[in-house]
Every structure is written in structure tokens, then in C-alpha cells.
Structure 1
Amino acid sequence: MTGQVRGVQLARLLGQWHALPGRRRSPDYAALAGAVRGLLADGRLPLGVRLPAERELAEALRISRTTVTAAYRHLRETGHLASRRGAGSWTMLPGNHRVASTGLWTPLDDRDMIDLGAAAPAAPPQLLDAARAAAEDLPRYLGGAGYHPTGIIELREAVAAGYTARGLPTSADQIMVTSGTQHALDLVLRLALAPGGSVLVESPTYPNALAALAGRRARITTHGLAVDADGWDSDLLLGSLRQTRPKLAYLIPEFQNPTGHLMPAALRERVVAAAHAVGTDLVVDESFVDLPLDGTELPPPVAVYDRHSRVISIGGMSKPYWGGLRIGWVRAAAPQVQRLAAVRVGVDMASPVLDQLVAVHLLAHADAIVTDRRVTLAAQRDALLDALAQRLPDWRVTVPRGGVTLWAELDGPVSSALARAAEEVGVRLAPGPRFGLDGTLERFLRLPFTLPAADLVEAVGRIAAVRYDLDRTGRQRWRETAVIA
């Protein structure tokens, strides 16, 4: 969404905007202004976008224009809206906000916030030793310019060896190192998708992937995922490919973000065959492939079934190792890698050599590091599940077999309202609509289990308290004030 948002669009994004704790004690305009601030804070409403005229929004929400006028005035006073007579009003944020680790806007004074918006763990203890070893290796590279568009050879060989060990023979020529998985996706889109091209994605899916697609002005279609079982309806997914014939399809088959689903091997093979038949390239995000839990056995990589260079795999170090180490990669056919490198030179030249050397040393000890990570994540997941069962028993959660997130089905369409309320008690949440299009998924919430168990239990307690407040305040039916003559 860029440029301008229409009244019906904003109304759809706002959803149950009046479902806030203490609604009976706050005026209508304050609730509406708070809902708009919430959309700005979680990224669903971009900065610099023009809001609908007051009358248009009033008609879309079926409330009085006076309420919208007061809400806009309140947003201007808080620094969230800039207006110019005759030109309209644009979204902005006050100067005391910053970009948080999740990419969302947050106040500067939120140091004590329990952040459940980010689905990434802290660094492993082995990182310091890897950094020291990398610094000792660095002199070998200081005699050159330091630009390696496809990555240093040691890292490309290490990543290729990882794919080969998973049953997918891979050479270093098929690997390009990037500055994180998101950067890998951006480069693939730059190469393979013209502006306005069609893309099929899962619903729900990774919000930053949707943002990358929006940046390419892609025409996005979705196919839904179930909250239980295997997640993918094979007939729906394959039918969507055949009917829409998209240029690209973006999939997360290993512990899908946010649902945690694992795509079965038989469906992987059928998806590749269907994609080849309709001329669709598959972009397969393997961010969580290193994190199976409870001894879950992984199916073969999707690219195992590729015979026509239709599958481009992307992955990185953020989830199994550390998000601060901005190392990702693309696995594709060698000619595609060279074309990607040519595109990359016009963007950022190359990834930092020192970071790549750190990654080489971490991957050399991957067995120990990732094993410890899995044990910790499994314990934290179980602690979160127990807390939810005790404090929020009406929520429906399927136990994921890997990854770092739970996808909870709530007991009502209150995800956005709950996120706004939780922020007031020191918990940051990523509401369900962030993972879909046009304000859907209000009955869902993503809950990562990457924080210590004590923090997760405390967060659930606070969430349960504000969820109770939402029920206690009730929900109003909105109607226009009657005219008495």
C-alpha cells in the first residue's frame, strides 16, 4: 500500500478498532486515533501515505464525521499525522520513536519491553570464539579490495557442503552469499520479477516477504494454510499454481513462518512438477531448516525434485545462529548465481569479509551449536505451551515440530486490539493481520519462543490479563447519532 489509502481499505485494516480496554471510559475519537497509531506501529499502515478524507472515512466506518475530525486532530497533536489545507493528511511518526529490531516503530524508552514481535534468538556463546578466529584469518584478505560479489570461497564451500549433506549435491558455484536472507530474497526478486509481476504466497506468511513483494509492486495472490494437520491443502496449492500461473511462488516449507508447519515430501515433489508445467519459478525460504525439534526427521529439500532450474533456495544464519550476523545465501543454478551477482553489484557490491569468516567458523561447529539451540528452543516452547494452557485455555495452538514460533488461534477476532493493549503492559506482539493481506487473520497471533522461559511465562500472564479486560469492557455496536428535531 503506497501513495494513498482509501476509506474502505483503512476501515478493513482497522477492523474491530473499538475493542480496547477501558473503551467505556474513553471517547470514540481517542479509540479511533489509537487504532490508527497501532497500524502505524506494526507496519500495516506505511509512513507517508495519504489518509482518506474525513467524510470518506466516516462513511466507511459508519460513524460521524465529527468523530473522524477529532481523531485526525488528535493524531496531529501526537505527531502521527501531518495535514495541509486542501492537500490532505499524511501519516508520520513523532521524533521520539525509532525502528526496533523487528523493523517496527517503537518508543525510545521501551528498554524493559518483553518483545514477542521478533522471532530470533540471542547469539550462541560460541560466537565470541568464532569472531576471534575470524580476526586471525582476516589478514589473508587484506591485500585485496575486499569485494566478493558471490562471497568468499570458504563460506560458499561450507554452505554447499551443508546442502550436499542434506541430499542435494551442490557446488560452490551454485552459492551466492548475501547480507541476510531478506537481502537474498530482494536480489532474487530484482532478477526474476518485473514490476507488477504475479506472485503466489502462503497465507499467513512472513511479513517482510510481503513488504519485499510490495516494493516490487507485485500482484500477490494467496492460498490459505490450516492451523492444524500438515497446513498445506495440496489440492488448493496445486490448483492455485495451475489457475493463476504466477511468475513466482514464495514458499516456506520447513517450519513455516508463522505457523510452524512442515511440508511433506510428496507435496514438495508435486509442487515442483506443477511449477515446471505452468512456468513458475519457486523461491523456497529455508530460514528454519536447521531447527527441527523433538527428533523430527526432515523431508528432502524442495530443490531435490528440480530438474529444470525452477527452484531458487534462500537461507541464512539468523535463526539457528544470530540475527546480528548478517549472512544469508542463495542456492541456484550456477548461471543464475552469476546473474544474481551482476544484479547485486548495483546494490551493495558484497557482504563483509569479516562476517563471512565468522560464519565459516560457526558452520565448522554447527553440530554442537545447533544441537544446543534445539534443546533450548524445545524447553522454551514447552514452557510457552504450558503457560498458554493454564492462562488462556480457550486459545487453540498446534505444537510445531520445529522452528521458533507458535501460531495461536484466539477466542475472538481481537488480535490487533490485544496487541495494542499488551503494549500498555510491557509486551510487544505481532498481531495476525501482519502476516496476511488487507486486515485478515484477526483471530490469530504469532508467539515466538526465542526468549527465556521466565519471560515467556510472564508475558502470557500479562496478555491474559488484558485479554480479560477486552471481554469485560464489552463491544459496542456503532451507529450514527439520531437526529432529534
Structure 2
Amino acid sequence: MDSFDATAISAPELAARIDPSSLRNRSGGPLYLGIADELRRLIENGEVTAQTRLPAERALSISLDVSRVTVASAYRHLREGGWISAQRGSGTYVSPTSSLPSWGTLGGDRETADLGFVNASPSASPLLADAYSVAAEKITGRFASGGYAPSGLLELRESVAAYYRGRGIPTTADNILVTSGATDAIHAVLATFTEPGARVLIEHPTYPVVVELVHTFGGRCIPVPIDPEKPEEFVASADRAARQSAPTLAYFMPDFSNPSGARLPLQTRRQLSATMHRHAILTIVDEVAADLSMDDSPDIEPFGAATPDIATVTIGSISKTVWGGMRVGWVRAEAGLLARVTATYARRQLSASIFDQLAAVELMGKYDEVRRVRADTSRVARDHTVALMRDRLPDWQFRVPEGGLALWCSLPDGIRSSALVAEAHSHGLLLAPGLRFGTGYAFDDHQRIPFTRSLPDITSAIEILARLSSAGMPTPVVGSSTPAAVV
């Protein structure tokens, strides 16, 4: 094996994460079980992620100041439970979350599914058809060109720049790179700045694609729990994680985070941005949901507005306010940072769709109306979903979000998301298991419920979940292939 392993955790780092009081306070039980329990806790909550290489027995025993036999017994206990596995000549690894399919393939053919709730993607805005009609008229004048705009059409970049200036951030077209959707933007940014072995702070739960991409590029996610009810506590947790793990990047969704729905208050986002800057961490800010406020929830100063521009890279899109089928996103950054991202993106994409960009220019010109229409539609769907959930699934706990496109539900005792999702699939309902929103085995006790389908579809989905929930669900075995049934 190479001398470097991107997913390895060192013995001192792992030992530092084990709570010594839990070992000291054991009432007569074997010490190895205490260590095993602590390692399982770290895996379950995502502090040690799936497929992470664990330290050798000897190295960990030295860091914990216990015998090698004790650590070997703890590892054996975890192997027998399916939490870790030994690979001959390679080492000991945390077991993968059971062959869960990649986010891009989760749910199979969603277009033909009876009830596809894997993505929190709303139906098209009623303003979209007219925008495409205008684009169809304008595009004929570009047929003589090659059809490429590597950084994006100038008129669209200027429209996006004006959008940021309207939110209080000085921006020109030179600060904008247009991409084929927000996921393309995230890919380009992470590919640019994720060095092998890099550690990336993420809020936990988070958008699954980010976890997959960080791992693909040789980095390791450092999860920081976020509580939508107490978002101000996130700053201290992120500061502590930064001191412990020395990350170089952070990925946050400060507005209506997917899936938790958390939104950082003004002072909290200012403190968090300043904290990341103090630690020399480049913050990637995902604002895809920033314009999805409801209930007259006021706009909040964009994350990073009060810190130097070079400390933040922002990702945006109109896929949630307009339509997921319109693949137009962007990266906003200081010119030097943006040049690096643009060079990376050029190696992967020649240009985003000119036709979609022309339609996006038209929509950005009436974006206040776009936002209002989406807010009205989402509010009706959210309130319908909330009322049904409280009536049919009263034991499911959730916070009613002031924006976004989904509920993040805490499941009753005895129900695991992975088993629920697998059973729901057999009834024609496709959902994303809670495990997909974490870095380890966390969130199998949570379920995301998007309110982006039609009201009758939402009713049908909740009726299915109510029947399954009342029937009781089996608890999946760690390391089993149960979650793969959603494919």
C-alpha cells in the first residue's frame, strides 16, 4: 500500500476522540468492551467515517496506554458485529455503509416511479415556459458561433453579479463562473481545492454528494453536528473541530440547510465566517436554498459578507427556485480563486448550455417574482405535509422549517430509516435513507420527507409511511445490504 492513505486516522487522533471517562467509569466490565463501545459510538455519529483505515493495534494501544491484547480484543468484538473489517496486507477499516448506492443512482428510474421522493426537487416554475420562448427567439442569433461560452454568457454573469450586489456583496461578471448546475459547481470547487489528505469540515447532516466527492478527491470529512433549534452552538463546535483536525476547507449551507433545514442567524454566520478565516480555512458556501424562504422570513446577510472576499467561495443555482431540469448554476469568488476553479472546470466542461443560459438571463430579470411564486407554492405544500404528518405520524418529530423543500424527521424508537426505505420501495415509494446524509452510520433514526411533489402524491406517500410505521419495521443488521433495495 502507498505510504499515504487518504482515509486513515492516526492513533493519537483516534485516542483523543475516545472519552476517557467512559472507560474509567465502567463497573467491572472488560476494558476492551469499553474501547469497542467508544469506537462504535464514533462510527455511529460519523466522527470516524465509513471506509476509514484504523490505526494498527500496537499504535493504538500505545496512544491509549493499554495492552495490545486489549485493543486486539476490541477490534475483534467490532469485527464480529460487522462494524469493521480486516483486509489482509492492508489494515483494518470501518465497514462501508452497506453498499448504499451513490447519490446519483439512488432510487433507480425516478421518472417512472409511482412516488419518487428521493430528490427534494420541485416542479417547474410557471415562469419557465415564457423564459424558454424568449431564449428560443434569441438563440438563432448565435448559430454562427461555435456555441461555447467557457465562463458563461456575459449577460448571465452580469445578471448574477447584479443579484449579489443587490444582496450587499460587491460583485462583477469577473467574479462569476457559470456551470451546468450547482452539483457541477461543487465538483469544480472541491476538485480545485481538495488536496490528497485534506480534511473538510462539514455540517452534519449534510448534502450527500459532498461527502462522496471529498472522498473521491482523497480528502476526509470532519462532521460537525448542527441543531436547527440551536444553530448558534454550531460556531463553538466548528471552532473546536478546526482546532482538533486542522482542516483546510469547510462546506456549509447557512440558509435552510439540506436536509436539516437549519438557518444561521446573522451574528452566528458572521462569527462562523470569522472563525473559519482565523483558522485559514477556505469556506465553500452552498446557497442553493438561500432563496427558498417562506412565512415572510427576512433575508439575512450572505455568509462571508463581513470577512475578506478571499476567504469564501459561494455556489448558487436557480434549480430549486425555477426547475431542476434547467442546469444552470454558478461559482462566485475572488478573481484569483475563481481563475483556479475556472481552469479546473474547463478540463471537464466546455460550456453550460447556451439555451438554458439565455432562459436564465430572462428569469434573473424577474427574480423577485420567481422567488415569490416558489414561496407561495412551497408554503402550501409544506403546510399540507405538516398537517398530514401530525395527523398520521404523530410520533415522528420534526421542526417546521421557515424555508427549504423538506422536513427532517426524527423517527420513533424501533424504526430505522434503512429498513423503512427498503419496505417503502416495495410499495412504489422511493425515499433517500437517513444514512445518506451522514458520514458514518449516523441518521438511520432520521428520515427526510420532501414536500416537492403534488399534494395528492404527498398524501399517498404519507399514507404508505403511516401504514408501515404502525406495522413496525425490522432493525437492519450492520453491514447488511438492506439499504441497497432502494435502487
TM-score normalised by structure 2 residue count: 0.75
**Alignment check: 8 A CA contact 1:245 1:279 kept:** no
Deviation, structure 1 residue 146: 2.5
Q: Does 1:210 align with 2:220?
A: no
Deviations, residues 204-245 of structure 1 (Å, cap 9, x unaligned): 000111111121121111110125343753211222223322
The CA RMSD over aligned residues, in Å, is 2.9
- Residue 327 of structure 2 aligns to a residue in which SS? coil
The residue that corresponds to 2:460 in the other structure is 458
Deviation, structure 1 residue 314: 0.2
The letter for the 1-side match of 2:410 is E
**Alignment check: 8 A CA contact 1:231 1:261 kept:** no
Q: Does 1:429 align with 2:449?
A: no
**Alignment check: 8 A CA contact 2:309 2:333 kept:** no
- Residue 233 of structure 1 aligns to a residue in which SS? helix
The residue that corresponds to 1:480 in the other structure is none
The residue that corresponds to 2:89 in the other structure is none
The residue that corresponds to 1:175 in the other structure is 176
The residue that corresponds to 1:131 in the other structure is 132
Q: Distance in 1 between matches of 2:462 and 2:392?
A: 7
TM-score normalised by structure 1 residue count: 0.75
Q: Does 1:316 align with 2:317?
A: yes
Q: Does 1:60 align with 2:80?
A: yes
Q: Distance in 2 between matches of 1:297 and 1:439?
A: 36
Deviations, residues 283-328 of structure 1 (Å, cap 9, x unaligned): 0000011110100012100121121511000011111111111100
- Residue 203 of structure 2 aligns to a residue in which SS? strand
**Alignment check: 8 A CA contact 1:227 1:407 kept:** no
- Residue 396 of structure 1 aligns to a residue in which SS? coil
Q: Distance in 2 between matches of 1:439 and 1:231?
A: 25
Q: Distance in 2 between matches of 1:231 and 1:407?
A: 19
- Residue 447 of structure 1 aligns to a residue in which SS? strand
Q: Does 1:199 align with 2:181?
A: no
**Alignment check: 8 A CA contact 2:232 2:265 kept:** no
**Alignment check: 8 A CA contact 1:176 1:330 kept:** yes
Which 10-residue stretch deviates more, 331-340 or 382-391? 331-340
**Alignment check: 8 A CA contact 2:416 2:476 kept:** no
CA 1:196 to 1:400, structure 2 compared with 1: closer, same or farther past 3 Å?
Answer: same
Q: Distance in 2 between matches of 1:377 and 1:442?
A: 27
Which 10-residue stretch deviates more, 162-171 or 338-347? 338-347
**Alignment check: 8 A CA contact 2:106 2:432 kept:** no
User: Identity, % of aligned pairs?
Assistant: 33
**Alignment check: 8 A CA contact 2:242 2:279 kept:** yes
**Alignment check: 8 A CA contact 2:221 2:439 kept:** no
Deviation, structure 1 residue 475: 9.6
The letter for the 2-side match of 1:196 is G
Q: Does 1:418 align with 2:438?
A: no
The residue that corresponds to 1:26 in the other structure is none
Q: Distance in 2 between matches of 1:368 and 1:283?
A: 28
Give 1:470's match in structure 2, choosing from 469, 472, 484. Answer: 472
The letter for the 2-side match of 1:167 is G
Aligned residues: 393
Q: Distance in 2 between matches of 1:348 and 1:424?
A: 38
Deviations, residues 311-353 of structure 1 (Å, cap 9, x unaligned): 0000111111111111000000122222222222211121121
The letter for the 2-side match of 1:124 is S
Q: Distance in 1 between matches of 2:152 and 2:110?
A: 38
Q: Structure 2: give runs of 5+ residues left out of the alignment.
A: 8-48, 52-75, 83-97, 478-487
Q: Distance in 2 between matches of 1:115 and 1:315?
A: 25
Deviation, structure 1 residue 61: 4.1
Deviation, structure 1 residue 145: 2.3
